[in-house]
Amino acid sequence: MNTRQEQLLTLVIEKYIATAQPIGSKVLVSEAGLDWSEATVRNELRELEEMGYLTHPHTSAGRIPTESGYKYYLGKTDLEKMKVGKKESDALESFFGFEDKIQAQKNLAKVLATITQETVILAFSTNSIYYTGLSNLFSKPEFVELGIVGDVSQVFDRCEDCIPGFYEIS
């Protein structure tokens, strides 16, 4: 993959994560300030699709990342830039040493959900599930459609039924 293709793949993935909408060449050229023509970008996107990093839902749609695209993107991510700051580190460290391990893990999950703006699910056993950060999940662009919200919320309603066996977090 050449440098231009890497840059385009990164732009498509980051824009898709933010919008949950297929990303077209026009959007990339206008919003990313690229110096390439839309035709050049379309050709590069087609190449990325042929390499298996992108796909498109239908002929006239923009591109969306594939699992291979996400894996490539993550492999190129500079983990040094992903380190948590002092404030977040202190908040995470404050949960070690609690007497009540279950409550400590729940508190840690809350902090992780806040820091990452994601949802955290803990399975203590088949009959003991804890989750936090649902508002983070349902505020994602994928959940604009109420039907999807309903489908996913049913998973949480049946969460304990979906976890086979016993999982112990120590």
Instruction: Go through the domains of the chain in sequence order and give each one's CATH number.
Output: 3-75 (1.10.10.10), 84-162 (no CATH)
The CA distance from 44 to 51, in Å, is: 11
- Residue percentage of the chain with pLDDT more than 70: 91
d(CA 162, CA 104): 24
pTM of the predicted protein model: 0.64
167/170 Cα distance (integer angstroms): 10
pLDDT of residue 13: 94
Residue 170: is its pLDDT beyond 50?
no
| Mean confidence (pLDDT) of the chain | 84
CB 109 within 8 A of CB 169: no
Is residue 52 pLDDT above 80, yes or no?
yes
pLDDT reported for residue 162: 65
- pLDDT for residue 95 is more than 80: no
Tokens 């040094």 identify what position?
80
Residue 130 near residue 122, CB atoms below 8 Å: yes
d(C-alpha 139, C-alpha 136), whole Å? 5
Q: Which of 17-21, 24-28, 98-102, 136-140 has the lowest mean pLDDT?
A: 98-102
